[in-house]
Structures are given as structure tokens and as C-alpha cells.
Amino acid sequence: MKTVQMEDIVSLSKRRGFVFQSSEIYGGLAGFYDYGPLGIELVNNLKTLWWNAMVRDHDNIFGVDGSIIQNPLLWEASGHVAGFTDPMVEDTITHKRYRADHLAGVDTADLKELAAILKDKKSPEGNPISEPRYFNMMMQTWVGPVQDDAAKTYLRPETAGAIFTNFLNVKDTMRAKLPFGIAQIGKAFRNEISPRDFIFRVRELEQMEMQYFISKDMQESAYDQWRQFAWHFLIDKIGLKESSLSWHEHDANERAHYAAAAHDIYFKFPHGTKELWGTHNRTDYDLSNHARVSGKDLSYVDEQTGERFIPYVIESSVGVGRMLLAVMSDAFVKESVNGEERTVLKLKPAIAPYKLAVSPLLKNKPELVRMAREIYNDLKQDYGMVIWDDNGNIGKRYRRQDEIGTPFCITIDFESLDNRSVTIRFRDDLKQERYAVDKLKQLLNKELSR
Ligand code: ATP
């Protein structure tokens, strides 16, 4: 079994409808992608699992859905206008720009350190490069008909902004007491200097974020709680291998401008071991700054002690696209079965785009097709994502379903007509078993909840 390469995932994504280059017929646009029919199912499954685990399973976490464009003062207060920067260098001949830290091969944003490492370095095209400098990654736009400075605003670079500005609204409407969290799933935009590695680093991304409001003395336990949450979610809910994950603690040079501590979960992506999910201690940085710039009182009064203070925040933040790339690369297997190569996505049934495939053994036998249709229609009512597949021989159908991660294929054959039984073929171990039709759902309920 060979290790998965990025080309394997890119090619499968395109061939089977997971991810397409955006505006492909016009040559695409660097850093932008579209999800296809199977990709969006997988994405929706990941988002639903996250939302259920985060919001529905916690009495003290509340959801919001904020707008992408907000009052620009928000981004002044959050420090993004001044500090949401990455170090970059420019190829002095082609004027192409590159992330200075990536070119230097270090995790730092310190310009002096980068300049020293990059002193004699050339661009990937072999040309001299400029001194490193900071580049602001916020995407700008204008609201209204006049494109002047007064109308200038930004597409949000992270979803957290609308959570801080809704702190009072949620606290008051939900009568929330500390500790409580606000969660959100939504798009964010970053004008990344060098988008690359397929959907790993893009300019339009989707984040699943939760900001947990606490008193100062809860910092350590809450930080630990949300680090553990992320780790267990990845393994237990979406089925990543524990051996694919590791912890990475940010040092001071690497941390975002708002963070006092940051631990990332790193995943073994095909292009290297990189950040998947961040847990950050944002301290009282955000609410203090929003209180200062907006002039609103964002403090909290502890009912027991009467103490008034600005809450601290522990943040849990993960990208949907990076999670999709992680599950696809973790589940991707190319193996040889009876001398033939098969590609299989060993996805956890809970996240697989299609749960079941139903096939009549032969598509030109009306009695087989009739019974298969009846079973298909019935299963579709209960399991939603069921695919009808009667194309080619049965071996080909299995291979096709293996490639898109369908965990179970159900075939209706001549014996089915005699005793109302079907064959179930299991994706991962290729086992085939006969089941009575009226016992089928019992088995599927058990298998699909794994
Ligand atoms: P990186 O160091 O990779 O640039 P970051 O530390 O800036 O990421 P955060 O600001 O902590 O990332 O964002 C939280 C999460 O959002 C990341 O863990 C990642 O999953 C996702 N994310 C951030 N930037 C991108 C991007 N350009 N493309 C895809 N996902 C991203």
C-alpha cells in the first residue's frame, strides 16, 4: 500500500465530483474552489457533526450566523487592520510574491530573522528576491455607490468578529452565565500571498469557530477542555486515525496578534504535517478592544460575588476545507485485490456522501429491477443518500462505489425473488453476506451509526 499523494486526492476529487477548480472554464482563479455533488454532501456531514457536538451537545453553547461584511470599525478594534499580516518577499524579475516564512522553511513572522535566513536565497524561479515585508491579508470592498475611504470595508478574515459583537445580544437573550460559548460556521476571506496545496490554503475558506467566554481563573481548565474536544472530535466523530494527528504549540513569534497561548492539532497531509485545528487563548483582548472602540460596556457581573470584569476567551477554530482534505487523505487507500488494483475511500459511514448503493444484478430483467426499485425507494425514505447503480457488471459497480466511499452495496439477484433476501457487500473488508429484506434496516442502523 503506497502513501497517498496530493495528485491522488486532486484527481479523485475532480473525477468523482468532490472538488472542482472554481470558474474552471475561464482558467480558474488561484485560491478558489467549488464543491461538487459528492463534496458538498461530505462537507455538510462534517458541518452537521461539528454543530451537533458543539452546540446541541452543550447546554451553554449557542449558535449564531453573522454577516460576512461588518462595520469596518470592528476590524480596527480587533487589530486585523493593523496586524493581520504575513511576511512576504517578491521575485524582483517576475514580481510574483511568496510567503517569506515558507521560503525560509521556518515558523516565524519576525522580519529580522527571516531577512537573515533569506539573505542569499533565490525565488522558486531562481531570481533574486526583495527584503521581507508585511502584507495585510484582508480583502477590501466598498459598500454603497461611492468608492471612497468612508465606504471602504472588508470581507471578514475570520468568523470570530460577529461573535464578539454579539456577545451582549446572546448573553441577554439567552440569559447566559459564564462560562458560555458562541459558535458559528461561515465563510472567511484571506488574501493569501501564495495559495497552494489544493484546498489546504485558499483565499475563500469556511471556518467552524467557537468562542468560549470565561472568567480569568478558568483559563487553564477551559483551554484544556477545548483542546481535548478537538482531538476527540477528529478521532471519534469523523474517524481520523490517531496516528495521523499530533500537537504543535506556538511559540511567541508564531502566535496570532491576539493570542496568549495557541495549540494546533497537526495532521499528516499529503504535502506534510500541518495545522488542521487551532485552540487559542485570546485573553480579554477582543472584548476589551471592542468595548474601547465601540464605547459599549462589554463587562460581565458575577451574580455571586458582584465582581465586574471583561471575560476572557478560549477559541476553537477549524477550517471545513482542511477537514475535508484530512478525511479524504486519511481514508484514501489504493490496494490490490485478487491481482486487481482498487481505490477505496474508507470513510466513516457517518460522513460518507452516499450511505448505500442498490443494484439489480441484471438491468434487463424486469422482475429484478422491480424488486430493487421497491427496496431502493424504501431505503431512501430512511437513509436519504442512497444511490441507484445498474451500470456495467457488478464488479465495476463495487469499484465505483469503493472510490466514493459508499460503505454498503445491496444487490438484488434471482435468489432475492425466491426468499426476499439480498446480498450486502461491505466496502472495507469486501465481505458479502445475505440478509432477509425485513432484517436489513436493523443491520444498517447498527452499521451506519458506527
Ligand atoms: P495558517 O498558519 O495555516 O495560515 P492560521 O494559523 O492563520 O493558519 P487560524 O487563523 O488559526 O489559521 O484559522 C483557524 C483555522 O482556519 C485553521 O486551523 C485552518 O483550519 C483554517 N484556515 C486558516 N487559513 C486558511 C486558509 N487560507 N485556507 C484554508 N483554511 C484555512
**CATH numbers and ranges of domains, the chain:** 6-71+140-328 (3.30.930.10), 85-136 (3.30.40.230), 354-448 (3.40.50.800)
Specify the residue with its C-alpha closest to ligand 1, atom 25: 201
The pLDDT of residue 2: 62
CA distances from 433 to 36, 75, 195, 319, 344 (A): 33, 59, 47, 39, 20
Q: Which three cell numbers stand for residue 450?
A: 458506527
Helices (H), 332-423: 366-383, 394-404, 414-419
How many A from CA of 108 to the centre of ligand 1?
Answer: 15
Q: CA quadruple 25, 29, 30, 34: dihedral positive or negative?
A: negative
Ligand 1 centre to CA of 37 (Å) is: 25
CA of 216 to the centre of ligand 1 (A): 26
pLDDT of the chain, 450 residues: tens digit per residue = 568 999 999 999 999 999 999 999 999 999 999 999 999 999 999 999 999 999 999 999 999 999 999 999 999 999 999 888 889 998 888 878 899 999 999 888 889 999 999 998 999 999 999 999 888 899 999 999 988 888 999 999 999 999 999 999 999 999 999 999 999 999 999 999 888 899 999 999 999 999 999 999 999 999 999 999 999 999 999 999 999 999 999 988 778 777 889 999 999 999 999 999 999 999 999 999 999 999 999 999 999 999 999 999 999 999 999 999 999 999 999 999 888 899 999 999 999 999 999 999 999 999 999 999 999 999 999 999 999 999 989 999 999 999 999 999 999 999 999 999 999 999 999 999 999 999 999 999 999 987
Q: Give the mutation target among 207, 251, 320 for probing the ligand 1 site: most ligand atoms within 8 A of CB.
A: 207
Query: Rounded to an integer, what distance in angstroms lies between the CA atom of residue 141 and that of residue 151?
Result: 8
Atom of ligand 1 nearest to the CA of 323: 20
Please say whether the dihedral angle defined by the alpha carbons of residues 81, 87, 90 and 96, taken in this order, is positive or negative: negative
The model's pTM: 0.93
For the chain, the residue count is: 450
Is 332 in contact with 325 (CB distance < 8 Å)?
no
- The response to whether residue 202 sits with its C-beta less than 6 Å from ligand 1 reads yes
